[in-house]
Amino acid sequence: MELKIDGQICDPGTDPIAVPGYAATEAESIEAAREGRSLTLKIPFSPRNNALLGWADDAQTAFRFNDTTHSAELSYEGARLIEGSVRLLSVGDDSYEIEIRSGGADWASQASWRQLDDLPIDWKARLTPTMICQSWTNDSPVKFFPVHHDQYEQQNSSTDLLPAERFLAVEDYHPFLHVASLVDEIFAQSGYQVKSRFLESDLFRSLYMSGAYATRDTTAAVNRMGFAARRLGPVTAEANEVGRVVANPDAIANTLGNIVDTATPQSIDDDGQAISGLYNNGNCFSTVDGKICFTPPSEITVGFEYYLKYTTYHRILSRDRLIGFDTIYLGSGSEFQFTLANRYQDQRDNIARNITYRVIVFDHKDGAQYRLTLNRGVAQDTLWTTFSARTVVINSPATGQLSNLKLSVYENGQWVPYTGNWALHNGYIGEYGTTTVEVRLRSSPEQVSPTSPKYFNLIYFGGAEEEMKLTLHKECSLRPVFQPGPAFGSSIDFTDVARHNIRQSELLESLFHLFNLRCYTEEETRTVWIEPEVDFYGAAPEIDWSRRTDFSRPVVCEQIAPSVHEKRTWKFLEGDGAVSRFNSEEQTTLGAWSYASPSCATMMGEKTLRNPLFAPTLSSTGYYLNAPSARLLQVGDRDDAEDDGTNFTPRIVRYAGVIPLPEDERWGYPSGRNEYPLAAFLYPGDESTEPFTLGFEDRDGAEGLHRYYDRQLRREAIGERVSLWIHIEPHEFEELFSPGVGGPDIRSIFRIDTGKGIVRAILRQIDEYDPRKASTRCTFERIDQL
């Protein structure tokens, strides 16, 4: 044996030395990767050792060996058996006791104390609709996906032709962090390179986890100065010459008055009903000279949440868009622009007999003449009508199969196909009408103090045509938001969207749990190999040790099943509102999967393996009425009084990219296209996207993540564990822990002789290794029985 400390040869003494072997459990978790191997040994007092250890035996001259970092290496016949850091444990009468620590991955140690938002990810942005839209297609490590905050739906007026249109504001998008970028940076931050086919796979590169904004306990602020204000009744105003109405009681015309009226509990509205949910702590909400204002008892940074429901007059502008009140200004830096979608169905491809229709030519020019033709049964291009106005109401023929509607325009003495924008709507739909809009907005935080209160008289609604009317409904509300999270227009960086208060190791552990990952770290080259269990074993060349068995020592074969539970269940953290209701209604647990071993030799009972970080997520359709087929991630809990919509339990989703919507659907401002970003935990698939799930169970035609556990579970149910004594040369022992050299290593498949035949197996454990002995006890698990 040769021992070196800090590169200098020292005297190892004459006592036998057996170095630690290997346990496969070291590859199965981040905590195990931190621990590594350690060897404690005694070396004698000698001039060489005394010098290397700082004369630790002499109290007069000694310096403290452990004050600085030292390294040690133990080798045999040139083969390195163990190396790593060394520390002095004690000084005896004639010897030093030292400990060599090896294999404890530095990246795992650093990940266990570093926060997720400590990652030096270079990302900065300004929170605007344009930035959100751009994030879907660029290579940003942060993308903003639309989410549906769990809530009780508002009732629509019985006179509305269509349900209220919900605008998606920046608060309806949530930051999601690219998992692969996070994992790459965790290792790079510690100076390691990763080799992994799985981490480079399309599946892994498509994963995103929900981000989180900074939060704080706002209970004291709410109790001291919080309020919730509502309107007493509806109010209507008419647009001025620039298409605006203001919410300013001091304005002479085109005004709605105050945006809300009262925060006094049990106030009675104009319908004689008591308004629920009102409060005014500290009387900080008041009316001063007719204007509502917020006056805090001390200076504070605060934003405000507005729930606005209004009905706007509109004109059908095009097949896709209406013109009406589509701009809301809440103050400096808080102007929200949207697009009023034309949600009336275009009937050109769905003509019925004896029905009244309205034709609208959106690009009409005065003097133009139009001809409408269609097929009636076998008769093609039959004249339906001619007209010369922008819009006309007509009845369809009473007989025949109607199809192939065509519009022509008269140009240069002949009828030619019209290539402009036009539509065929049901006849009861007028060119002018009304649309009800719902939107929840948060203004940018601002400084408010007793001497500089917040007035709400700068608000206006715009984008309409002169004399168009806007009716503000009594459901409108206003409340202060004391959370420090960003709002529209805020400048943000990675740390602003990664405030989960979790360690980096928690993310890694959760990924290990999802995909049954295994890892091995080679500290000398600072390289980490990571793969799912099914791919980790067999990644290195197969090795034939069938002639290495020492039959002078016992060979023990035992079933693996007695060491595992009869039933094991993989699941996630508890889901919130939508998931809880789904689980209750379907009598299931979304994302969970159980395996019952066929063996009768297992331990009794069930073992639950719960993901330490993520909760499952359902997606909802029909929420965003411009694109009702779009699937939005449903988050939050409508029955949780403390859920303010800022953050939610961490989620993991798969991003499938921007996918098409049906032809008659459009995503809102600023995209305006018939496509949207699809991010989901579970997706049943469509014509362009295969079904997928990140749950452990199979669902909706997608195979669950249990596929990463299936081979291991079959092996544990029917397989054997074999313990025998193997002759291992020192250089072979060294190579087992050096995956990068291209030879056999701990990931290899081994051919071993049990005395009853040659079997193929994976290595589970090597006991202490002494190269001077004939053989070493090793434990394998057979894979040839699967």
Position with higher pLDDT, 523 vs 776 = 776
| pLDDT tops 80 at residue 173 | yes
| pLDDT tops 70 at residue 654 | yes
Give tens-digit pLDDT for 22-79. Answer: 899 989 999 888 887 889 999 999 989 888 888 776 665 555 788 888 999 999 988 8
Q: pLDDT band for 569, please (50, 70, 90 cuts).
A: very high
Per cent of the chain over pLDDT 70 is: 96
The tokens for 564 are 């595992």
Query: What is the model's pTM?
Result: 0.86
Q: What is the mean pLDDT of residues 461-465?
A: 97
Position with higher pLDDT, 577 vs 290 = 290
Burial class (CB in 10 A: 0-12, 13-18, 19+), 267: middle
Give tens-digit pLDDT for 498-510. Answer: 999 999 999 999 9
The tokens for 667 are 């995503």
Q: pLDDT band for 120, please (50, 70, 90 cuts).
A: very high
Transcribe 59-102 into DSSP letters: TTT---GGGS-EEEEEEETTEEEEEEEEEEEEE-SSEEEEEEEE
**738 near 746, Cβ under 8 Å?**
no
Q: Which CATH number does 219-341+432-482 carry?
A: 2.60.120
**403 near 347, Cβ under 8 Å?**
no
Per domain, the residue ranges of the chain are 2-104, 113-215+567-601+613-710, 219-341+432-482, 356-426
Pairing of strands 432-442, 165-166: parallel
pLDDT at 641: 58
Give the SS3 label for residue 515: helix
Give tens-digit pLDDT for 329-343. Answer: 998 778 888 888 888
| pLDDT tops 90 at residue 255 | yes
The tokens for 384 are 């339906």
CA distance 586 to 247: 47
Give tens-digit pLDDT for 512-528. Answer: 999 999 999 988 889 99
pLDDT at 247: 97
Phi-psi bin for 591: left (phi > 0), alpha (psi -120 to 50), beta? left
Q: What is the mean pLDDT of residues 136-165?
A: 77
Per cent of the chain over pLDDT 90 is: 70
Q: What is the mean pLDDT of residues 617-632?
A: 90
Sheet (strand 652-660) strand order: 618-620, 632-635, 142-149, 173-178, 207-210, 652-660, 675-680
CA distance 681 to 657: 14
pLDDT at 338: 86
Residue type, 751: R
DSSP annotation of 164? P
Phi-psi bin for 415: left (phi > 0), alpha (psi -120 to 50), beta? beta
